[in-house]
Amino acid sequence: MPRPSSKVAQPQKCGAILLPALAALADSGYIRGVCASICCACRQHPFACRGAALSPVRGITCTFSDGLFLTSRVEKRRDRRKLKGGSGVRGRKEKERILKGPTEWRKQKQLKKLRIVMTAVGLMLLFSVAAGAFLAWYQIQSALDQNRQQAAQPPASSFSTEEETDDDSVNLALAGPGRPLPAGYRVQVETYQGVSVDRRILPALKKMMEDAAAAGCPLTLAEGYVDAERQDALFQAEVKRLLKTQKLSQVVAENRAQSTVGRGGQTDAQTGLSVAFAAADKNFGATPQYRWLTRNSVDYGFVQRYPAEKSAKTGMEGNAARFRYVGVENAVQMRELSMCMEEYVSYLGKRDG
């Protein structure tokens, strides 16, 4: 019998001889795939065993008529190795990248960047709000401290002294036509610039006159406290003058004298809390001193005692030169309410019941 041939069928020159080299290149990752045409016998070639062994795994087909497309899966094998051997933070991130895919991985990275940016913006807003709140608190605290300091110090233009009396039974003591001073009222007489006044108003009076002089409106005292006896003498002298010069009856002369001079004990001069200022032209209402007093006298506790528009309430004719001390608080309220003393005392009586 003829001996079987020991020769192995040789591959045809249709590209099968390139299979080992191409397979090596595919395994090394240098190429994604190669295409070569081989014959059907290549499956039995010694060097084709690599391709034949890989064919079931890689899905390689080898026919004489079709080309061989060797698809290299080196990257996938590397990914599988990384999935198996990855460790630590870097390994976990690499596994996530492989499992999620490029598109999902990019989205996740963008989300992380967006979170970082939003966190930074939130921190900046929080810092801005905190800084604004601190600045507002600081300004409010500074304003409160300034108000406390101003409250602790008296205004430069107002009178403040420990000697100022807060006794409204004295400050608001009324004397006028048909309203004599209360029984037992006593004046603490003291002389200032040749005029007698109650010593309780002296500090305020001195301060007011000093500030008026500093403002270019020096004040000169013309009259202060007048006792009841002397006031009665002045009243009788005025009645006689009216009877003689104007030929009035006794009753009419006395009524008119009462509205201009006043009977003893029924005029504000007997309180010792009012003064009259002198004017060079005898019309004090037209002087700069009067205008200064109308603006500033309440800051020292003084008010005009007999405003011309309040004659019906006071019972006396208007007198621009006479100012009465009532205390700073009462003076300010009288100005705000546009009241004379008679109106203000009546108002307090009704308010306090």
Distances (CA, A) of 14 to 17, 32, 49, 64, 136: 8, 22, 17, 9, 90
Query: 46-50, 85-89, 235-239 — which one is most confidently predicted on average?
Result: 235-239
The tokens for 97 are 């990248």
Torsion of CA 105, 59, 10, 32, to 10 degrees: -20
Q: Collapsing DSSP states into helix, strand and coil, what is residue 138?
A: helix
> Residues 5-44: pLDDT tens digits?
544 444 444 444 555 555 555 555 444 444 444 444 444 4
Helical segments of the chain, H only: 19-28, 49-58, 74-85, 88-152, 168-171, 202-214, 228-245, 250-260, 288-296, 311-314, 328-337, 341-352
304-343 pLDDT, tens per residue?
999 999 999 999 999 999 999 999 999 999 999 999 999 9
State in words which class domain 168-226+267-352 has. Answer: alpha beta
pLDDT tens-digit series, residues 173-200 = 999 888 898 888 899 999 999 999 999 9
- Please give the pLDDT value at position 87: 54
pLDDT in tens, 245-287: 998 899 999 999 999 999 988 999 999 999 999 987 778 999 9
Q: Residue 352: what pLDDT? A: 83
| Arithmetic mean of pLDDT, 62-84 | 48
The rounded distance, in Å, linking the Cα atoms of 253 and 288 is: 34
Mean model confidence pLDDT for the chain: 76
Unique residue bearing structure tokens 């391709």: 51
pTM: 0.55
